Amino acid sequence: KMIKMIKKICYILVIVSLLAFNIPKNLFPKIEKEVKESLNISTFSLVEVKIPSELNLNLPLKISSESFFSIENKQQLKGYLYYGQAKGKSAFFDFIVIFDKDLIISKIKILTYRESYGGEIGSMRWLKQFIGLSPKSSALYKNNIAAISGATISASALTIEVNKLLKSIDILIQNHLLI
């Protein structure tokens, strides 16, 4: 019974830490599951990464306190989480990028896709192309990221967003804000 109680308390702490951010509440269980699986941890907390506004103005992708977090377990850095949106043909879709502690992509997940076509970008088979990319890498649609028939706009949009994220993280590293 004690273990169940501890698990419930940890779950509540994770939810409370997530509630502090502007990620839609209905996405918390998906995010929690993906972080736990991707980084092989059972409990964690998200800590916002603060970026000086003057530096953020020069990033290819603006990173807010609601979009980029360090993932910590027992006050030890385990990785990073980016929550973002990309524009499909007519609607935005939500996605996360999970990085390990060395800022190598370990997982990308489409959380909510709102269009009737192009949902193939949510397939693990296609998304695993991004795994292993680092801030020194480039994600280039139809180059090192394969095209998807029927999802051209969404697949291209996600690839562009991930590429801007990688470039932004590289700038943060150069400015000694990460690692």
pLDDT tens column, 90-131: 999 999 999 999 999 999 999 999 998 888 999 999 999 999
143-161: pLDDT as tens digits: 999 999 888 999 999 999 9
Residue type at 55 in one-letter notation: L
54 vs 23, more confident: 54
The conformational region for residue 75 under phi > 0 = left, psi -120 to 50 = alpha, else beta, is left
User: CA 79 to CA 40: how far, in whole Å?
Assistant: 11
The two structure tokens encoding residue 179: 């690692």
165 near 135, Cβ under 8 Å? Answer: no
Of the spans 6-20, 23-37, 90-104, which averages the highest pLDDT? Answer: 90-104
* pTM score: 0.87
Q: Give the pLDDT band (50/70/90) at residue 65.
A: confident
- Residue 120 DSSP code: G
Q: Token match 């949902």: residue?
A: 119
